[in-house]
Amino acid sequence: MKTIKGPGIFLAQFLGDTHPFNGLESICRWAADLGYAGVQLPSWDKRIIDLQKAAESKTYADEIKGIVNENGLEITELSTHLQGQLVAVNPAYDKLFDGFAPEAYHNSPKARTEWAVQQLKFAAKASQNLGLNAHATFSGSLLWHTVYPWPQRPAGLVDTGFTELANRWLPILNAFDEAGVDVCYEIHPGEDLHDGISYEMFLEKVNNHPRACLLYDPSHFVLQCLDYLAYIDHYHERIKMFHVKDAEFNPSGKQGVYGGYQSWVNRAGRFRSLGDGQVDFKSIFSKLSAYDFDGWAVMEWECAIKHPEDGAKEGSVFIKDHIIRVTEKAFDDFAGSGTNDELNRNLLGI
């Protein structure tokens, strides 16, 4: 067994225009002061990292890594959640998702997709230059608008959609394979990869590609009423990243999973700061440790109620308290009688 690394913190939700949240060095110093050991970097914000430059210049990548290390931290992974979303966008969402790309690609879905694919390829090389072995992203979606279909889906629609999604991702997965980095899809409502079955459908279409791995975030499964502990049993061999994020689901006689178009505060299902929700993290950390999870426990803060800085401060302690320093021996070793083949055969009567 291995001891999970951490605590880490995903910086995306904390970046801003004021100090210390407006630059890599200052936000790293802030995170370190809170007790974090690692930072997960959003690759779309040039205040943190220039993704293309990190892909094309090992010297620049070393400079970024040096800034993080000088503050007593490690880079856990890079994230391309926004760019990954743009690998596959149904036309119904074009206007909404244009904001994830530079203005030059707005109102041009084909060019926007090409830009996103190139961004992912930059991320593969940048991760390699930074010495990372896993990468966080979204799959994008061509089919989400049909997730609860009315009228019914035409025969073959889902198969065609997953075939196209796989065709778009295969060159990206191959680029990550060349770089020695796992692509970890965050399984998430709004993505075509939103639960175990949809992930399996995609995995089949990419020929069980060894780099098509998983970012485990139990909060999304609480909101879907999915068994997030059994999920680990099913997919532990593919889980290479871990977002530690809490959530709660409180259905009523008026609303359930879909939330009635309400704000986050008023939904039955909502994200919470660590320890304020319903996720059984003791069992999660135990299962991941037992399955030899060899990655980071990274806090992703998304809470409808609590201030983010309070969530970050509490999150560091919460993760530290849940990381299990795994044992190197069995508890009953003191009663062992050693190895004796003759005794074993005698006990078996052979």
pLDDT at 329 over 90: no
Which residues does residue 184 pair with via DSSP β-bridges, in sequence order?
136, 213
Residue 328 has what pLDDT? 84
Query: Residue 330: its pLDDT value, please?
Result: 81
d(CA 291, CA 305): 34
> Which is higher by pLDDT, 171 or 1?
171
**Average per-residue pLDDT for the chain:** 97
Checking if the pLDDT of 334 tops 80, the result is: no
Residue 73 contacts by C-beta under 8 Å, 6 or more apart in sequence? 28, 31, 32, 36, 37, 38, 39
Give the percent of the chain with pLDDT over 90: 94
Residue 280: band (very low, low, confident or very high) from pLDDT cuts 50, 70, 90: very high
* pTM of structure: 0.95
One of 3.20.20.150, 3.60.20.10, 3.30.565.10, 3.40.50.720 is the CATH number of 5-348, namely 3.20.20.150
Which residue blocks in the chain are alpha helix, DSSP H? 24-33, 51-56, 58-70, 81-85, 94-97, 109-129, 157-179, 196-205, 218-224, 228-235, 281-290, 308-322, 341-348
Straight-line distance from the first to the last Cα atom of the chain, in angstroms, rounded to the nearest whole number: 34
In terms of Cβ atoms closer than 10 Å to its own Cβ (0-12, 13-18, 19+), residue 250 is: exposed
Distances (CA, A) of 300 to 9, 12, 216, 219, 270: 6, 9, 12, 10, 14
- Tell me what pLDDT residue 231 has: 98
d(CA 181, CA 198): 22
Q: What pLDDT does 217 receive?
A: 98
pLDDT band at 172 (very low <50, low <70, confident <90, very high): very high
- How much is the pLDDT for 232? 98
